Chains A and B, each alone.
Chain A
Amino acid sequence: MNEYDDKWEDRINALLDGELSADDAELLKAQASDDRELARAIIESYQLHQAMDQINVERAPDSLTKRLNAIPREHRSKPAFSLFQPRWAMAIAAIPLMVITISLMRPDTPSASEIAQARQEMAIAFAYLDKAAVITGREIESTVGHTMANAVTGSVNKVIQSENLTSKEKEA
């Protein structure tokens, strides 16, 4: 097909589609009356156009329709785990916030009042240790006498001290 044929084909298609202006249509008809090849081309195109219009659209079977509809779903890329998804982004952003909150709520360095409270609690614990020592000393004294009580409590202290001395010697 040369440029000459392309030119006529475009005009014939435009004529059949009703897109050719009235002047151009008259001109084409005039030329077709002088050119048998052109006239035949117009007739064949018209017949082909009519035949195309007579073709009905056949409805596809349901099974084929379902299968065709399923193809895009099967080939759709599954949403991969992404840290940029909103929920994960929010969760990740919340982590440093929680860490900062916790660090503010529980500072590593206790305040002076907390240390004073701890010192008070330690003194209470020591006072109860002292109480136990007084009770045991009193019981020993009531049983074996004052002199023996001092000897017993003294030996108890020596036992405990000897453990400390042993550990210090090991450390040395």
Chain B
Amino acid sequence: MKRLLMSKFVIGLFCTLLALPAIAQEDELKNLAGYVDFGDLSATYGEPKITINLGGTMLNFVGMMSSSESPETSDLISKLKGIRVQIYSLGEDADVAKDQFGKTRSNLKSSGWEPIVQVNEDDEQVLVYMKAVDGQMEGMTVMVVDNEEAVFVNVIGQLNPTELATVMDRFDVNVDLDLD
């Protein structure tokens, strides 16, 4: 009996140690002022079709790799602390996503985020919010919900949209986006 308990203890300890880096990184982002909790829509729509979680450490490596080919890109990335993306395919029912959209908007307002752009159409809603603390940008979040998908993007750190446009031209990435 004692040996069984000891085995369970050792296995539990081992699993905990394995998960520590991921848990620590997620906790690190959660503690940042620019972090946004988008909630979880997987119960309704299944797992997100795209999930991106980039912490500060990985962004630093990406920035270092980019420094030789594009100082502008490296400079932009150096100001970022994290990037999170969740994209759900909604299917036929977008109501749950729109409800979550509203809850997140309320949470952003109550926690000091400022609306930059809001588009409220029947078939499409877009929100761009920004968080600044002591005059310093801490994060930006973009949420798009239409009848097909819900997009939640959270950039933690400082991001200049004009620099972003410049950097985007340098990325040789083929992203298929439906802009219709």
Contact = CB atoms under 8 A, between A and B. Distances in A.
Interface of A: 87, 91, 94, 98-99, 102, 105-106, 109-110, 114-115, 118-136, 139, 156-157, 159-161, 163-164, 166-167, 170
A119 B126 contact: no
Contacts of A157: 161-162
Interface of B: 6, 10, 13-14, 17-18, 20-21, 50, 52, 54, 58-59, 61-62, 65-66, 77, 83, 85, 87, 116-117, 119, 121, 124, 126, 128, 130, 132, 134-137, 140, 142, 144, 151, 153, 155, 158-162, 164-165, 167-168, 171, 173, 175, 177, 179
Nearest to A167: B136
A110 B52 contact: no
A161 B116 CA distance: 12
A129 B164 contact: yes
Nearest to B127: A132
B168 A163 contact: no
Contacts of A120: 173
Interface secondary structure of A, over-half rule: helix
Q: Is the interface of B mostly helix, strand, loop or mixed?
A: mixed
A161 B153 contact: no
A139 B17 contact: no
A170 B20 CA distance: 36
A122 B155 CA distance: 10
Given A87-B6, A130-B165, A131-B179, A161 B14 contact: no
CB-based closest 7 A-B pairs: A123-B173, A167-B136, A127-B175, A123-B171, A166-B135, A132-B142, A163-B137
